[in-house]
């Protein structure tokens, strides 16, 4: 009798000890009793009824999931490959176990289909230039569909967009043409501003005759510094006209036998 009683006690102790469970800080235990959900067990040492209760552990840590590359045809009929990164976590462990068979697999498949759908509705320029808006739209759609599973999608980031070689060459040519266009526009604006300044300088020199003469003298000083043996410089008639008039007056005032002949005046720019 005593040996059988001792065996029974040992078996009972083994069953009691086997019912203890240690749940980590980042985990929660979903407990089912005879197949029926009865509650959530928090972190620490917990006990369940052996052979009656069943506990499923669920991690509450954020999951970083890589969404595989998806073949996408954009709205402007360009075939590209797009992959993304998904950040999510479980907020309600009981829903993640009861409402879906495998919430990790389901979230992954949902992210892939949503990525193809959203990128297919956008044009190539929008995928390349407005990536933040695409990410926001993906996050909202996936989070709305995983909410019944107790899964919260924090962010979705489009990681890489692979373009065909032909499209890459076409975009490179487009960028080169755009840079050449900007270069020509800048050069034309510089020429226009320079012509305006020259026109302003011409008006100043036209209104001030002495300024023109000073400019000629300054040009002579600059040219004289060059190592040249021959210097040809045009002199305007206006500069020589005072000398010509003074010579005529001296001839008229000087006494002489014959008639006074005025020296021939300059008719064209002389060369010095």
Q: pLDDT tens across 89-140, in order?
A: 999 999 999 999 999 999 999 999 999 999 888 888 888 888 889 999 999 9
pLDDT at 104: 93
Reported as a single tens digit per residue, the pLDDT across 186-218 is 888 888 888 888 787 777 766 766 666 666 667
Task: Tell me: pLDDT of 182 over 60.
Answer: yes
All residues at 6 or more sequence positions from 23 whose CB lies less than 8 Å from its CB, including other chains:
29, 41, 42, 43, 44, 45, 46, 57
Instruction: Between 111 and 262, name the one with better pLDDT.
Output: 111
pLDDT grade for 270, boundaries at 50, 70 and 90: very low
pTM of the predicted protein model = 0.61
Query: What was the pLDDT predicted at 88?
Result: 95
């Amino acid at each position: 009798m005593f040996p059988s009683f001792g065996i029974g006690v040992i078996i009972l102790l083994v069953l009691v000890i086997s019912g203890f469970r240690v749940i980590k800080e980042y985990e929660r235990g979903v407990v089912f009793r005879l197949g029926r959900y009865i509650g959530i067990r928090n972190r620490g040492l917990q006990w369940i009824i052996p052979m009656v209760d069943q506990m499923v552990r669920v991690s509450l840590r954020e999951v970083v999931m890589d969404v595989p590359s998806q073949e996408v045809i954009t709205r402007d009929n360009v075939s590209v490959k797009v992959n993304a990164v998904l950040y999510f976590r479980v907020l309600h462990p009981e829903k993640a176990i009861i409402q879906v068979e495998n919430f990790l697999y389901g979230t992954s498949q949902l992210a892939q289909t949503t990525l193809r759908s959203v990128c297919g509705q956008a044009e190539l320029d929008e995928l390349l230039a407005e990536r933040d808006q695409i990410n926001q739209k993906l996050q909202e759609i996936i989070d709305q569909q995983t909410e019944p599973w107790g899964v919260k999608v924090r962010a979705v980031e489009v990681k890489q967009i692979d373009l065909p070689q032909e499209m890459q060459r076409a975009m490179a040519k487009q960028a080169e043409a755009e840079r050449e266009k900007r270069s020509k526009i800048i050069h034309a604006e510089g020429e226009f501003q320079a012509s305006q300044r020259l026109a302003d300088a011409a008006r100043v020199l036209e209104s001030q005759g002495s300024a023109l003469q000073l400019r000629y003298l300054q040009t002579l000083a600059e040219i004289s510094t060059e190592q040249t043996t021959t210097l040809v410089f045009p002199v305007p008639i206006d500069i020589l006209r005072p000398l010509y008039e003074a010579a005529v007056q001296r001839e008229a005032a000087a006494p002489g036998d014959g008639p006074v002949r005025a020296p021939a005046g300059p008719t064209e720019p002389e060369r010095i």
